[in-house]
Chain A
Amino acid sequence: GENVEQHPSTLSVQEGDSAVIKCTYSDSASNYFPWYKQELGKRPQLIIDIRSNVGEKKDQRIAVTLNKTAKHFSLHITETQPEDSAVYFCAASENFGNEKLTFGTGTRLTIIP
C-alpha cells in the first residue's frame, strides 16, 4: 500500500517569512495529492490539492508543487500570518474513483509574531 512521509514534524517561522513542508510518497500509481489544515481543536479542512498531470498550483499565498519522478510534493506558504499557525497534513490517493487517502504524519507550523 501507499506510504506517505512528511517533514518536518514541527516548523517555526517569523511572521512574513515563507514556510515549506515536504512529503514523499511510495506508490507511483498515486495521482491526487491534497493538503489539509487543522487548527487547534478543529477538524481538518482542505486548503489546496494537485493532480499528477500538473506540476504546480497556486492559490493566493499558498502553492503546491509536485515532482512525479522523485515522488515528492511540497506545500509553500508565503508572507506567513499568525492565522497560518496550525497542523498541516499532506495526503496521497490512487486512481480517481478510489479516493482512499493515505495521510502524512503532520507538520505543526507556528508563526512567530
Chain B
Amino acid sequence: DADVTQTPRNRITKTGKRIMLECSQTKGHDRMYWYRQDPGLGLRLIYYSFDVKDINKGEISDGYSVSRQAQAKFSLSLESAIPNQTALYFCATSFHSQETQYFGPGTRLLVL
C-alpha cells in the first residue's frame, strides 16, 4: 500500500549534535510537511513544501532546516540540537487538488 514512512522511529541525541530526520512517501503526493507534537500543544507546523523547488517556513521554524531531495523525500535537520527540541515529529503529505493530509508514523526525539 502507498504510505508515508519516517526514519528513524526513535532517536536519542546530545545537546549540540546535528541530526536529520527523514521522510519518504510512495503516495505520489506533491506536498510535504513537517510537524512537531508536544503534550498540550497539539501539532505545530515547522516547514512545508508544495513541490521540489518550493520550501516555506511554518509556525516554528527557528532551529530547524529542511531539504526536499525529490518529490518523494523531505528531510528535517536540527543543526545543533537543544533539549527543548525533544518532541514527537511527524511528516505529512497531501495532493495539490485535495486537502487531506496523510501522516507518517512519527519520530520520537530525545535531546539530552
Residues of A participating in the B interface, judged by any CB pair closer than 8 Å: 1, 6, 9, 32, 34, 42-46, 49, 89, 93, 96-97, 99-106
Contacts of B17 in A (CB 8 A): none
Contacts of B56 in A (CB 8 A): 100
Could you list 22 A-B pairs, sorted by A, with CB under 8 Å? Answer: A1-B59, A9-B40, A32-B99, A34-B101, A43-B106, A44-B43, A44-B90, A45-B103, A46-B102, A93-B99, A97-B96, A99-B31, A99-B94, A100-B45, A100-B56, A101-B43, A102-B59, A103-B43, A105-B40, A105-B42, A106-B40, A106-B42
For B40, the closest partner residue in chain A by CB is A105
Chain B 55-83, CB-CB to A under 8 Å as 1, else 0, gives: 01011000000000000000000000000
For chain B, the count of residues having a C-beta within 8 Å of the partner chain is 23
Task: Answer whether A43 and B90 are a contact pair too, CB < 8 Å, given A96-B99, A99-B101, A100-B58.
Answer: yes
Among candidates A32, A34, A89, residue contacting B42 with C-beta atoms closer than 8 Å: A89
Contacts of A34 in B (CB 8 A): 99-101
Inter-chain CA distance A79–B58, complex, in Å, is 38
Inter-chain CA distance A28–B53, complex, in Å, is 30
B106 and A103 within 8 A (CB): no
Contacts of A104 in B (CB 8 A): 42
Among candidates A1, A43, A96, A97, residue contacting B103 with C-beta atoms closer than 8 Å: A43
B100 and A49 within 8 A (CB): yes
For B58, the closest partner residue in chain A by CB is A100
B41 at the interface (CB under 8 A from A): yes
Inter-chain CA distance A97–B102, complex, in Å, is 16
Inter-chain CA distance A101–B42, complex, in Å, is 12
Contacts of B103 in A (CB 8 A): 43-45
Task: Answer whether A101 and B101 are a contact pair too, CB < 8 Å, given A1-B59, A89-B42.
Answer: yes
Specify which of B42, B44, B104 lies most central, judged by the most chain A CB atoms within 10 Å of its CB: B42
A89 and B43 within 8 A (CB): yes
Inter-chain CA distance A42–B105, complex, in Å, is 7
B34 at the interface (CB under 8 A from A): no
Inter-chain CA distance A66–B18, complex, in Å, is 44
